[in-house]
A and B are shown apart, each in its own frame.
Chain A
Amino acid sequence: MRILRLLHLIMVAALVLAAADVYRIKFDSTRQGEHLAKLRGDVRRERDAIGSLRAEWSELDAPKRIQALAQRHLPLKPIEINQYDTLDHLPERPLDIVPPGTADPIGAIIETRSDAALLTGTIAPRPNPR
């Protein structure tokens, strides 16, 4: 009998605890639900804002508008066909000034340079062979 009564007590206590816990969970879930709804609303709003900004951006970025702006403000011109070239038309890499493995490369450069005619960018480039 004693075991039975103990069992009774435990059950009543468990029931009360469970009820309290269920209530807590319910309250919590309601709160979470509201929070979620609010966040969802925020996300929607943000997404709508992103949507309208993207629409505006693509309106501003439309080729028609960009072309008109470029023609008005930039001195750019369409690329001509002879402005393209392929990599195999690049001239050969110039020979090394100093043979590799020289003990004092900098000294060797000064040595060779001092004798060679001064070459700077101001000298007119060689005419294009093509």
Chain B
Amino acid sequence: MPQSAPPVAIEHWRRRLWRNLLYGHNVDRGAKARARVGLAIMAFATVYAVIAGKLVMFAVIGDSHSVRRGVGTDAVATARPDILDRNGEILATDVKAPSLFAEPRKIIDVDEAVELLSAVLPDLDASELRERLASKRGFVWLKREITAKQQQEIRHLGLPGVGFLSENKRVYPNRSEVSHIIGHVNIDNQGIAGIEKWLDSSGLADLHMAGFATDRLQKPVVLAVDLRVQHVLREEMLAAREKYKALAASGLITDVRTGEILAMVSLPDYDPNNPREAIDPTRINRLTTGVYEMGSTFKALTIAMALDSGKISLGSTFDARVPLRYGRFNIHDFHAQHRVLSVPEIFTYSSNIGTARMALALGVDYHKAFLRKLGQLDRLRTELPESAEPLLPKRWGELNTITIAFGHGLSVAPLQAVMGVAALMNGGSMVPPTFLKRTPEEAAALARPVVKPETSEKMRFLMRLNAEKGTASKADVKGYYVGGKTGTAEKVEHGHYSKTKVLTSFMAVLPADQPRYLLLVMLDDPQTASDTHGFTTSGWNAVPVGGNVIARVAPLLGLEPRLDLPPAERLILATKEAR
């Protein structure tokens, strides 16, 4: 029928497009209806697919709403990870403590509330409390961190407009024992000193900001410190400070191979549960924040430098017959021998003249470069936020090299000196000290060779020799083959070196043939005691204290006592030659 063609042509172009797309040309209505039903089925199928997909999503992601709901009411002071010692003993942890708040607008009788509350919480200031409750604010803290018993009592008062929020409270079960290492937190659980502050600066603060750090499921931080060793060291240092009436007493034990600090005590210290004590400037951590002229302990570095240069050997001799004159200065020896001394003699008699001559023989630049290599001239940074810059002479001339050779004229943080000496003991590689637990492999990756292994062996020989027949003999605890170097530095008073006030120090390595640990004992301004025969030098105070510490600590550190070991000449030097 040729007439039917025009209506098709009249059909709107858009409808034709649809028709063509959906059913093609020339299809009947039945097919059209089927196609529509098919379309409806598809639409529904899509909707169901979306629903199913959404269900799967819910199942996978879980209901985040209920978690948020639970968090809202507590954990105002956010959670912090536990801090553990190397054996897993708790040094710092969070406990939940209720805090008391009020909504002043809901309080009916302010006077009654003040009266009842101050009966339960006697340390609450009544006038301040009244002021707070009378204010028109919606929310005021009344007291943070009350005890469970107080909470119970307040609940029984039945006061309207008073409530509790449970907060995380930081507790330090060992009180003052590890104070300077772990530091402390403020009332909002933010670290303000020590490892606690380090935790915040290494990402925890950001977590807090984002509101994630609310659970106690955070990974605990394991420190290098050994609580038992720390306790022994602290107890001995307390006793020493008492006995010698020292202004301050500090001690440190480090693993020479890994750089881990196993114990660190700086007295006077404070109880981190009571952070107010920490403000007192006499309670600073002297080992990291103080800088001191280390005195004769520094001679170990000078002699190591001399031996490592290859120009000076153990057999070299230096003239110590007369004091060393430099300009208008005279360098004397404390244990003056008035003769030519060999290198081991210089070490055991702690000869200022000898070490000064050694340093002079190598020159100022060499001396400077060596000390820089050993990290003595730059600020030492550890995990602890507190650190101090060493005090260097402004212009480093020959006279400075002379005095620095025997430990005067350069002030370093004691921890820094320990790091330097540890590098001389452990075979000659410098490992940055750490307060965190570290495996030997990690330490090996960080280690940087600074002196030759032979130099290290010679230094251990000298240290051992000094304990066998030198100034460190009072610390020669039988069985542990201790080696040590003493130091007595005159303190600077009003710009002059004082003749009476000294800073004594003692560094001991044990065992000297297979070095594991390095101990530092430092006493600030020790006085004479009944058994010191009027002396205040290191050999009479720091050394016996070091001996006491070693005797108690060595078994804890798992060192096997070995009796009947040959003297240093045979054990340390002979093995070296055999190689």
Chain A residues with CB under 8 Å of chain B are: 4, 7, 11, 15, 18, 22, 25, 29, 33-34, 36-37, 40-41, 44, 47-48, 51-52, 54-56, 58-59, 61-64, 67, 78-79, 81-82, 84, 86
Contacts and interface: CB of A to CB of B under 8 A. Distances in A.
A55 B48 CA distance: 53
B44 interface: yes
B66 A58 contact: no
Given A7-B37, A58-B90, A67-B231, A40 B96 contact: no
Given A22-B51, A63-B227, A52 B70 contact: no
Contact of B94 (A15, A36, A51): A51
B51 to A, nearest CB: 7
Contacts of A63: 174, 177, 227-228, 231-232
B561 A47 contact: no
12 contacts: A15-B44, A33-B66, A34-B66, A47-B216, A51-B216, A52-B96, A55-B93, A56-B173, A59-B173, A63-B174, A63-B228, A78-B551
B90 A37 contact: no
Given A41-B70, A82-B563, 17 more contacts: A7-B37, A11-B44, A18-B48, A29-B58, A29-B63, A37-B69, A37-B70, A44-B70, A55-B95, A55-B173, A58-B90, A58-B174, A64-B175, A64-B177, A64-B235, A81-B478, A86-B560
B61 interface: no
Contacts of B33: 4
B563 A81 contact: yes
A50 to B, nearest CB: 9
A81 B561 contact: yes
Contacts of A22: 51
Given A33-B63, A33-B66, A37-B66, A79 B177 contact: no
B66 A79 contact: no
Interface in B216-237: 216-217, 227-228, 231-232, 235
B174 A78 contact: no
Contacts of A67: 231, 235
Contact size range, B? 35 or more
A125 B227 CA distance: 41
Contacts of B228: 63
Interface in B27-57: 33-34, 37, 41, 44, 48, 51, 55
Nearest to A53: B95
A36 B64 CA distance: 11
B242 interface: no
Contact of B89 (A11, A40, A58, A78): A58
B96 A48 contact: yes
A33 B65 CA distance: 9
Indicate the member of B55, B166, B174, B552 with the most A CB atoms within 10 Å. Answer: B174
Nearest to B40: A11
Interface in B150-192: 166, 171, 173-175, 177
Indicate the member of B58, B93, B561 with the most A CB atoms within 10 Å. Answer: B561
B555 interface: yes
Contacts of B561: 81, 84
B262 to A, nearest CB: 14
A79 B555 contact: yes
Interface string B60-74: 000100110110000
Given A62-B173, A78-B552, A79-B555, A40 B55 contact: no
Given A33-B66, A84-B561, A64 B231 contact: yes
A82 to B, nearest CB: 8
Contacts of B477: 81
B456 to A, nearest CB: 27
A41 B173 CA distance: 26
B290 interface: no
The 5 closest A-B pairs by CB, nearest first: A63-B231, A59-B173, A58-B90, A58-B173, A37-B66
Nearest to B79: A51
Nearest to A18: B48
Nearest to B90: A58
Contacts of A62: 173-175, 177, 231
A59 B95 CA distance: 13
B145 to A, nearest CB: 13
Nearest to B55: A25
Contacts of B479: 81, 84
A62 B90 CA distance: 9
A3 B63 CA distance: 43
Contacts of A34: 66
A25 B58 CA distance: 12
